[in-house]
Amino acid sequence: EKVMTQSPATLSVSPGERATLSCRASQGVSSNLAWYQQKPGQAPRLLIYDASARATGIPARFSGSGSGTEFTLTISSLQSEDFAVYYCQQYNNWPRTFGQGTRVEIK
């Protein structure tokens, strides 16, 4: 099983600032990596797939990069609606595995 490790656990950012979230895989997953956003009481929403492709309707301030074992989600200028928990997930192998999440909170 591929273990996904996200850092930091919590990120405190001021609105308008840049946020950089990291995700590391215990073994290579090629570019088969997705990012999801989850707000309290809501289902997760797909942001990024194939490590860097934005899902339909996702604003351009969200970008993903990386391949192999190291991945990054960048939010270029945080808006109020972006404060949430973010999860990475690999789909290179079964079982599918998620990181433990990074909470982005208002500084």
Partner 1 sequence: QVQLVESGGGVVQPGGSLRLSCAASGFSFSNYGMHWVRQAPGKGLEWVAFIRYDESDEYYAESVKGRFTISRDNSKNTLYIQMNSLRAEDTAVYYCAKDRGQWLDYNMDVWGKGTTVTVSS
Q: Give phi and psi for 81, each to the nearest 5.
A: -75, -5
- Tell me if 19 sits within 8 A of 74, measured CB to CB: yes
Give yes or no for residue 99 binding partner 1 (CB under 8 A).
yes
Query: Number of residues in contact with partner 1, rule: CB under 8 A?
Result: 23
Give yes or no for residue 87 binding partner 1 (CB under 8 A).
yes
State which of positions 3-22 bind partner 1 (CB under 8 A): none
CB of 43 to partner 1, least distance (A): 4
Instruction: Give the range of 15-23, 64-72, 74-82, 85-93 binding partner 1 by CB under 8 A.
Output: 85-93
Q: How long a stretch of residues is the chain? A: 107
- Tell me if 33 sits within 8 A of 71, measured CB to CB: yes
